[in-house]
Structure 1
């Protein structure tokens, strides 16, 4: 049953001193040009190249075989052609977020974005393998994985003591929604949803961020499939780290059903995911 309260508005958050990060100018320009239908790969590349950090990371992600196939592109415009224009925008959004939030030397931010990238790559891997079942594409799952808990660094910036628990090496999760509501009167799901809407992410991705603490009802369609992918990606991370995933006993059976995975086949499937993740990280 969905019990998620209605998200706060940006105005209500502002009254609490919580700031939704603005989109970088590069993204705004990309969205403007792509809305005009008057562009090509070279013109898109010229816009992205204005931000060296986004360009470098986008190119690195695009060279991953999961996104670009077996032929690694040699130039940014070739990478854009290989990926497609809409996936390029989605990956640029994902890359830009981590360069916009938490640009300082605090170890908690470094750990947070490292964990987010790991989750995003696992989600993309699962989406690629299950695309015929759930129709979620790798770059969409990657985008959702990066943005999934982006409310956390927003709250870290607003509340200096928020990240104290994040500094523990063995922590795989973040404070519970109940704990956040008790201590800060707001939670990272709500913040993440508002960031996703403000950055113009597809509606089903924004909804997945809002509802990622559960598995939403069947009528949520693509949102439900994406949440299932994210739950499984998180479970793989826990398994790789040898840590307990407290949410899996509650939601695991729904995740497997949504992704059309039989429980008897799941141990072998999980082992394959872990092996592929370790190979990609090597």
Structure 2
């Protein structure tokens, strides 16, 4: 068993994600799934149904008539959007912490970082590369989950690492020195267990890997770019940590600075919109 899997076995805040999430993940992976299949799963979760109907009836969709049917709601927002809603709802609970927590590592700060990266990644996918942003959103929400595992299993060593590291590259080095693994690898194995999409799993594994040939339009490229933007807007995982990304992505940002400047100006409004839906 790998060191990453040993960490996961000791992690007790959550075993599998709630049944509804893992079931939806399996349905997403099954090309034969129907809207009726999704409806049968989520109708047993009243909180998720409430969030679904709130989302589809929000100004974001601007529907002329109110939707009060689960099946119609799923048809409007799409199956992947429903899955992302369920994952976000499940993880938000895990990231909760007492408000008096003042340690350098904060679950609340990490949640905000993950939310901002997910929203930014969706925007980058759709605005810059013209592709559907649902997978990018999902990856953004999940990408740093391994940090929560490390914090619970090796709290003292983890907080010592957080207090000394100055960059994301340095963070990976220190994690491997202390733990024999890192949060990317832990997140990779957890997302495999949760039946997440293959490209999402790979991007979680590689989101801090410095590559000379990474494609900016790949999910890994989009997540690295989005983390870099989140850092520049002061939404980093730790105070004063520098986010290091692959050289081709920096070059891509420079070549498309006008488009990214507009995206960054619009990001706060998109965060506010997401907050009204997801909380």
TM-score normalised to structure 1 length: 0.72
Equivalent residue, structure 1, for 2:185: 190
Equivalent residue, structure 2, for 1:96: 90
Deviation at 1:228, TM superposition (A): 1.4
Equivalent residue, structure 1, for 2:275: none
Please, which runs of 5 or more residues in structure 2 have no aligned partner? 273-279
Cα deviation 1:26-58 (Å, max 9, x = unaligned): 1244356664946435x5235224334444455
Q: Residue 201 of structure 1 aligns to a residue in which SS?
A: coil
Equivalent residue, structure 2, for 1:239: 232
Deviation at 1:164, TM superposition (A): 3.9
CA separation of 1:39/1:280 partners in 2, compared to 1, >3 Å: closer, same or farther?
closer
Equivalent residue, structure 2, for 1:3: none
Query: In the alignment, is the contact (CA less than 8 A) between 2:122 and 2:136 conserved in 1?
Result: yes
C-alpha distance in structure 2 between counterparts of 1:162 and 1:193, whole Å: 21
Deviation at 1:77, TM superposition (A): 3.5
Match of 2:143 among 131, 143, 148: 148
Query: In the alignment, is the contact (CA less than 8 A) between 1:215 and 1:254 conserved in 2?
Result: no
TM-score normalised to structure 2 length: 0.73
The answer to whether residue 112 in structure 2 is matched with residue 122 in structure 1 is: no
C-alpha distance in structure 2 between counterparts of 1:69 and 1:59, whole Å: 11
Equivalent residue, structure 2, for 1:263: 254
CA separation of 1:74/1:212 partners in 2, compared to 1, >3 Å: closer, same or farther?
same
Map 1:1-282 onto structure 2 (within 5 A): 8=3, 10=5, 12-13=6-7, 17-18=10-11, 21-31=15-25, 35=30, 37=32, 39-41=34-36, 44-58=38-52, 69-71=61-63, 74-75=67-68, 76-99=70-93, 101-105=94-98, 107=101, 108-132=106-130, 135=131, 137-161=132-156, 164=159, 176-216=171-211, 218=213, 225-241=218-234, 246-248=242-244, 251=246, 253-255=247-249, 261=252, 263-266=254-257, 268-282=258-272
CA separation of 1:92/1:174 partners in 2, compared to 1, >3 Å: closer, same or farther?
farther
RMSD over aligned CA atoms reads 3.9
Aligned residues: 258
- After the TM superposition, which parts of structure 1 deviate over 6 Å for at least 4 consecutive aligned residues? 165-168, 171-175, 242-245
CA separation of 1:175/1:143 partners in 2, compared to 1, >3 Å: closer, same or farther?
farther
Higher relative contact order (CA 8 A, sep 6+): 2
Please, which runs of 5 or more residues in structure 1 have no aligned partner? 1-5
C-alpha distance in structure 2 between counterparts of 1:22 and 1:270, whole Å: 37
Deviation at 1:181, TM superposition (A): 1.9
Deviation at 1:22, TM superposition (A): 0.8
Query: In the alignment, is the contact (CA less than 8 A) between 2:253 and 2:260 conserved in 1?
Result: no
CA separation of 1:279/1:177 partners in 2, compared to 1, >3 Å: closer, same or farther?
same
CA separation of 1:280/1:64 partners in 2, compared to 1, >3 Å: closer, same or farther?
farther
Deviation at 1:151, TM superposition (A): 0.3
Cα deviation 1:47-80 (Å, max 9, x = unaligned): 2243344444555666678xx7554974443331
Q: Residue 204 of structure 1 aligns to a residue in which SS?
A: helix
C-alpha distance in structure 2 between counterparts of 1:269 and 1:230, whole Å: 17
